[in-house]
Amino acid sequence: MAIEIKEMMSKTKWHSKVIHLVVALALVLSFSLVTTVPALAVPVVASVTETAFGTATMDHYVNMPATVNVSDLLIVLLTNDRNESVTTPGGWSLLASDANGAHVRLSVYYEIATGTEGGTTVNFVTSASEQAMAQVYRISNYHGTTPPEISTAATSTDMAPETAIANVPVVFQYPNRTNPANRIARITKNDFFTSTLS
């Protein structure tokens, strides 16, 4: 009887080891079959390209960034020194175009890049000859499925506004007193960038 019990315990230990081994192999196999989900990259402002138009003209050939990849998001901020309207170029979409009385207009356009834009120019035509300033933001890692969003305009006399979220561009425009063209400033919590015509 003692031998039978000993043999049964020995078989139970053996079965237990086999079961543990089978479970361990199943877990390893299931983990190896699980497809790794890639982490989504965060959109990044890869470059800012500026073009100044110090002489009044209707044609404003805005320089695109030297390097543009497929699916990059291109955003153009164009400010002209009066309130003349701007024609949206082919392939671009208008996000906003607001005039501040007869003094200045800020227009915002976007395009999801095809990858052929690098080093080219795009003509933003105003309805009358005007001086202007443009900035082109190239944003890499853009998801490319929905248009970018824009908030409503606001005015302030605060010369040092604070943004709530780090690295979120906030655009300001105001007249440059030494030149009828305008300044555009991009201010983020961690970064300050000013472009001016003088």
Nearest to 78 by CA among 61, 91, 55: 61
User: For the chain, how many residues are written?
Assistant: 198
Neighbours of 127 (CB within 10 A): 13
Q: HSE-up of 29 (CA within 13 Å, CB side)?
A: 6
Whether the pTM exceeds 0.75: the reply is no
| Separation between Cα atoms, residue 191 and residue 17, nearest integer Å | 61
Task: Give the domain ranges of the chain.
Answer: 44-144
**Predicted confidence (pLDDT) per residue in 128-182, tens digit:** 999 999 999 999 988 877 788 777 655 556 555 554 444 444 454 444 444 434 4
**Predicted confidence (pLDDT) per residue in 32-59, tens digit:** 565 565 666 788 889 999 999 989 999 9
Nearest to 83 by CA among 180, 152, 149, 185: 180
Return the CATH fold of 44-144: Jelly Rolls (2.60.120)
